[in-house]
A and B are shown apart, each in its own frame.
Chain A
Amino acid sequence: DAGVTQSPTHLIKTRGQQVTLRCSPKSGHDTVSWYQQALGQGPQFIFQYYEEEERQRGNFPDRFSGHQFPNYSSELNVNALLLGDSALYLCASSLKGVPYEQYFGPGTRLTVT
């Protein structure tokens, strides 16, 4: 039973560029949430997708956008990268009827130079 997978593992981008991160949920899960974890801090909720729609959003600017595909996988896009966007981006999946059993992926480490 495959868990949550994320790609790529590491990424280095230049300020002003755009980046796309990918997440495949655990088998059987239909909901995907994205979190940003800056170094030495706890994860911060970015947004959640269910039925291919953004359901709720945390306190992040519009430069952060996402998408969910019919197979429940998801992408996180960040435009006009800032140095402060450097962080570990975590994806978590869950099942709509059991929202609190979130399974996290290993994350994508984004470095903006």
Chain B
Amino acid sequence: AQKVTQAQTEISVVEKEDVTLDCVYETRDTTYYLFWYKQPPSGELVFLIRRNSFDEQNEISGRYSWNFQKSTSSFNFTITASQVVDSAVYFCALSEDNYGQNFVFGPGTRLSVLP
């Protein structure tokens, strides 16, 4: 069965600090997809990134970067020079399904960036 663990329930940082959100997943499939979503107080989930199991290249998008390591089943997310607008709940998710029908989300990490 697939499972996603986000061990950090809440993180608080001061603006401009770097912060890393951890995600560890479990799956028996060799083909799967990993995702990060942001949920601001408004409640709407915002897609941040998708990575398939065959692509272990790290990715950087502006202040965001992602580190995918199959050897440790981890897909960690780093925000560089955090800003107050980054405050939100961040979810890591896993899908084994080729049709994206059954996403499994982690419990989320609440990030508070203080001014």
Query: Which residues of A come within 8 Å of B, CB atoms?
Result: 33, 35, 40-45, 48, 55-56, 58, 88, 90, 92, 94, 99-107, 109
Q: Does B105 contact A (CB under 8 A)?
A: yes
Cβ B102 vs Cβ A58 within 8 A: yes
Cβ A99 vs Cβ B100 within 8 A: yes
Q: Which of A42, A90, A100 contacts B108, CB < 8 Å?
A: A42
With known contacts A42-B91, A42-B108, A104-B45, A55–B100 Cβ distance under 8 A: no
Q: By the criterion of a CB under 8 Å from any partner CB, how many residues of chain B are at the interface?
A: 26
Contact with A along B43-62 (1 / 0, CB 8 A): 11111001000000000000
Cβ B45 vs Cβ A43 within 8 A: yes
What is the bound-complex CA distance between A90 and B93, given in angstroms? 15
What is the bound-complex CA distance between A21 and B63, given in angstroms? 37
What is the bound-complex CA distance between A104 and B47, given in angstroms? 9
Q: Which of B33, B44, B103, B108 contacts A105, CB < 8 Å?
A: B44
With known contacts A33-B101, A56-B97, A56-B101, A100–B50 Cβ distance under 8 A: yes
Q: Which of A41, A42, A45, A92 contacts B102, CB < 8 Å?
A: A45
Contact with A along B75-115 (1 / 0, CB 8 A): 00000000000000001010101111111111110000000
Contacts of A103 on B, CB cut-off 8 Å? 47
Contacts of A45 on B, CB cut-off 8 Å? 101-104
Cβ B95 vs Cβ A100 within 8 A: yes
Q: Which of A41, A94, A101, A107 contacts B44, CB < 8 Å?
A: A107
Q: Which of A43, A55, A56, A106 contacts B91, CB < 8 Å?
A: A43
Rounded to whole Å, the gap between the CB of A8 and the closest CB of chain B is: 14
With known contacts A41-B108, A42-B107, A100-B50, A106–B101 Cβ distance under 8 A: no
Closest-by-CB residue of B relative to A55 is B101
